[in-house]
Chains A and B, each alone.
Chain A
Amino acid sequence: MVLKPSHYKSNVWIDWCPGCGDFGITAAMYRAFSELNLDPAKTVVVSGIGCSGKTPHFLNVNGVHTLHGRAIPFAVGIKLANPELTVVVNGGDGDLLGIGSGHFVAVGRRNIDILIILHNNGVYGLTKGQASPTLSKGVLTKSLSKPNIQDAVNPIALALASGYTFVARGYSMLAEHLKNLIIAGIEHRGTAFIDVLQPCVTYNDIHTVEFYRKRVYNLEDEGWSPDVKGEEQETNKKLLAAWEKSLEWGDRIPIGIFYRNTGISTFEDRLSEEIPIYKISPPSKQIISDEKGRTLIDREIFRKIFRDYIIIRKQER
């Protein structure tokens, strides 16, 4: 049975400001999940704290609304313990690139098979509009008393530098395009990242729908080819090109897939090499005792496993 997009909508009232870009992101998720026919019980949406952090409650799949900045490590634990789950992280720009930036970088090094969706609105929405790590120097948004004196981090470049193997940008108002990115991100084996430009109608009066409409263009339309095919040299070439592209911001803002490399092992693959039974029997699936609550390791097995730590006393003659 194929589940319709509406099936993925929970019955919780969505309490974002009318017109918020987060609606577009959530709608794109409903549609992507439906097209992929994801089993809600085998899908987990993990979020941090912020307006974006509420996302899981609006979806009818498993939801884990965690701590500010920590969605990624929660998601990593979920995925490593049960790799059959589809795990999607939703975080704010403060969440993923400010307080949680260490995790954002670390997950790229591992290439764990999850998708991370950044709700990039340039502000700390839920705390009323302070500058976020993606707001450029000199920009004055509504809540600020003076132009921003901190500069912006470049999410695309940071993801590339951190080792993400799927790096893309979407725009919350282009739902069809974003839906396709989400599908591609979920289907990608490895850590996938989508930087979603998300207008905040209440606190960001600079990066508005009007602002983006004039600037956003689709990489694909210009014949951009993000995919690494084979060789290491090719990887570096594609990385450099994507990096350069990520600097483009101003009159023209590219969206689409910047970089994709399917040739890197996932962390799950690497674990399976260490622990052969990992794939068939990951931590969440293992039976650890019999019905009576007895441990799998009894005295004899204990003696075998830990023989290097056991000393058998000299026998008296």
Chain B
Amino acid sequence: MSVKEANILLGGPQGAGLETTAQILTSSLAYLGYGVLADREYYSNIKGRHSYIHARISAEMIPLSLSYPVEIVGAMDSETIFTHFEDLGDGGYLIYDSSTDNRTLSSIASMEPILKNRITERLKRLGVEAKVSSLVDYLASNGRAEIVALDFPSILDTFKKRFEPEPIQASRYVSSILVGAVCGLLDIDEEAVKYGVSRRFMKKEKLIEHNVFLVNYVADYIRENYGSPYKLDNSRLSLNEMLTVMGNDVVAMAKIVGGLRYQSYYPITPASDESFFIEAFERLEVDGDSIGGIVVFQTEDEIAAITSAIGASLTGARVATATSGPGFSLMVEGLGWAGHSEVPLVITYYQRGGPSTGLPTRGGQSDLLFTLFASHGEFPRIVLASGDHIEAFYDAIEAMNYAERYQLPVIHLLDKFLANSFITMGIPDFSKIYIDRGMIVEDGEDYRRYEFNGPISPRANLGSKAVMWYTGDEHDEYGHITEDPEYRIKMYNKRMEKLDLIDKEIDPEKRAVLYGDFSADYLLVGWGFVKGVAIDSINKLRSQGLNGAYLHLKMFSPFPSSYVKSIIGSFDSDRVILVEHNYLAQAGKIVAMNTGTIIDRMIVKYTGRPIYVNELIIGIRKILEGEMRVVLSYGA
């Protein structure tokens, strides 16, 4: 017996090695050719609060969505058991530390009281005492779950006797017990384990030896006592090389490939990892030779991040800044200056749960309207949203091209779900990548930065032979201030007409993509990270006889109005459903504003956790049965 895919959840306190667990497993699985998508859920906290990794592993494809229930819950601590026991599917495997059998729910200090109360109520209803052993017995006796009880301290003792690691280090090996148990259940071979561990600890021979031993020791025990119930099919993916990356990494790689030379940032979750990544490659060394250099500049705040990026752009450097909601709020005045002064600039915007500090480490899509309307006055901007890691790679390069071609700010919208989830993906297709720097001139006689030459004036850079002026005031062709009413119309039009030009030049089918066809029974409309779960849910429902399609919105400004209108218009209005990670179903407002078509059915989620296939399917059914609005809430 073997399986095509497996869903697993591994939980433990923040800072206790969960990330290491995920990295080792992902590398081992990628080595065997499997597709992996792993979401990281964590508190805004450095050490001690509950965090977990929720992953799908597939032998057939690169997974683009997650679902519950899972087949394996691996618990580093008792908080994980209490928090996630109902995430485990019937007959699934719970891996836990049997030395914590006497732990009671009330003694878990790190758990939020609100959740504690909820779980207490739940256990009461189930008639289960709020204690690890009782909960485990309940799961086992109902045949609900197979229990993999491992005595972590005694396993560590065996290990310590053999290797004598330094005492403080011993606890760091707990994550390898979990890795071992999962490897046993999935039957991941020793070679793959060795590969995964070696990659994680890169040349630290001792750590590699210790962890490989521990993982295999536990894995063998599991195989002997439980078999390998989720032995994975041989992978059918055709990729021979895979990137194992988070969304932050992918965007950083794209910016590096796409010629970024200046990135400014102020630290904020979930954006700063991208800047860190770029900084690690600032010398752009290939075989010891430098093929460029990237300045990554940590500024004093986000106002300086955007304004210094604008300054750098004026000199001709390819620039970007990366931030999240609170940072973008501070950038807004600078955004307007860039739009007004026609400055190429990319803002990579990772949405998280708002408003205010909101849910700093959780996901959301509630900033779409903000990005479209931020800053006073009217000016052209491009707002581009990516649906998955692969799209994000190409879009990040495209965003820089658009910014320079059209001389305007481009907001590249992403979210925490994408930023912090791990994926295995193929190496990008370089035939699809190009660099477009727009209209650049060097010579300087009587240069006019805003020459009336259609919407785009030839761009000379500060430092070229030209002398030029910039101002946030309304200006003449030279960039000097003017308040003349008739001139105002000309200059205003010149700026705004860029939107028409872009609308003409960029294919609407690139700006909105239909998955499925017009004959479908219903149409989902979404954007960003909704893409994967929407497509997967449609596929699931298709096997149940319901034929659906998904309209993926990618560019919100300028919006592909007639194309979207024609697609939505060909479905009955009660069969069109918005799916979004916000309260208002914001993309629906933009559709209405641009096409006159009001979509009044929606499935929304704003818990900060991703939308899962299991709940979206139910949501779709409810809407098709007549409900207008479904609010999803699955996930701890």
Contacts and interface: CB of A to CB of B under 8 A. Distances in A.
> Quick one: which of A12, A40, A66, A303 has the most chain B CB within 10 A?
A66
A50 B471 CA distance: 12
Contacts of A284: 261, 312, 315-317, 461-463
Contact of A41 (B319, B464, B479): B464
A64 B461 contact: no
A98 interface: no
B312 A78 contact: yes
A85 interface: yes
B295 A80 contact: yes
A171 interface: no
A112 B407 CA distance: 28
Interface stretch (B77-85, B158-166, B301-309, B525-533): B301-309
A274 B472 contact: no
A189 interface: no
B469 A78 contact: no
Interface residues of A, number: 70
Given A81-B317, A295-B435, A289 B259 contact: yes
Interface string B280-308: 01111111001111110101110110011
Contact of B470 (A65, A103, A289, A313): A65
Interface in A79-98: 79-82, 84-85
Interface string A187-207: 000000000000000000000
Given A41-B466, A301-B286, A288 B435 contact: yes
User: For chain B, which range describes its interface: under 10, 10 to 19, 20 to 34, or 35 or more residues?
Assistant: 35 or more
B286 A305 contact: yes
A77 B264 contact: yes
B241 A310 contact: yes
A34 interface: no
Contact of B315 (A63, A85, A271, A303): A85
A289 B201 CA distance: 36
Contact of A63 (B32, B249, B281, B470): B470
Given A70-B303, A295-B257, A295-B433, A80 B283 contact: no
B33 A314 contact: yes
Interface in B227-259: 239-245, 249, 253, 256-259
Contacts of A80: 262, 295, 297, 308, 312
Contacts of A294: 433-435
B427 A302 contact: yes
A82 B315 contact: yes
A177 to B, nearest CB: 28
A280 to B, nearest CB: 10
Contacts of B240: 312-313
Contacts of B473: 65
A62 B468 contact: yes
Contacts of B294: 275, 283
A102 B266 CA distance: 13
B307 A302 contact: no
A284 B292 CA distance: 11
A289 B400 CA distance: 13
B467 interface: yes
Interface string B463-498: 111111111110000011100000000000000000
A304 B261 CA distance: 19
> Quick one: which of A40, A306, A312 has the most chain B CB within 10 A?
A306
A277 B308 CA distance: 21
A313 B32 contact: yes
B471 A271 contact: no
Given A67-B307, A289-B259, A309-B249, A283 B241 contact: no
Interface in A282-317: 282-284, 286, 288-289, 293-299, 301-306, 308-314
A168 to B, nearest CB: 24
B31 A311 contact: yes
> Quick one: which of A103, A284, A305 has the most chain B CB within 10 A?
A284
Nearest to B436: A293
A293 B434 CA distance: 5
Interface in B411-466: 424, 427-428, 430, 433-437, 444, 461-466
> Quick one: which of B261, B287, B334, B467 has the most chain A CB within 10 A?
B467
A52 to B, nearest CB: 14
A44 interface: yes
B381 interface: no
Given A73-B304, A77-B311, A62 B242 contact: no
Given A283-B317, A284-B461, A306-B243, A77 B469 contact: no
A62 B334 contact: no
A81 B286 contact: no
B315 A73 contact: no
Q: Which 7 interchain pairs have the tightest Cβ spacing?
A: A77-B311, A288-B259, A77-B308, A283-B317, A81-B312, A106-B300, A283-B261
Given A66-B472, A78-B314, 19 more contacts: A12-B480, A62-B468, A73-B300, A73-B303, A77-B312, A77-B319, A78-B462, A80-B262, A81-B316, A81-B317, A276-B283, A286-B261, A289-B259, A289-B437, A298-B430, A299-B430, A302-B253, A305-B284, A308-B202
11 contacts: A42-B463, A62-B468, A67-B472, A81-B312, A81-B315, A275-B295, A277-B283, A282-B295, A282-B317, A283-B261, A305-B285
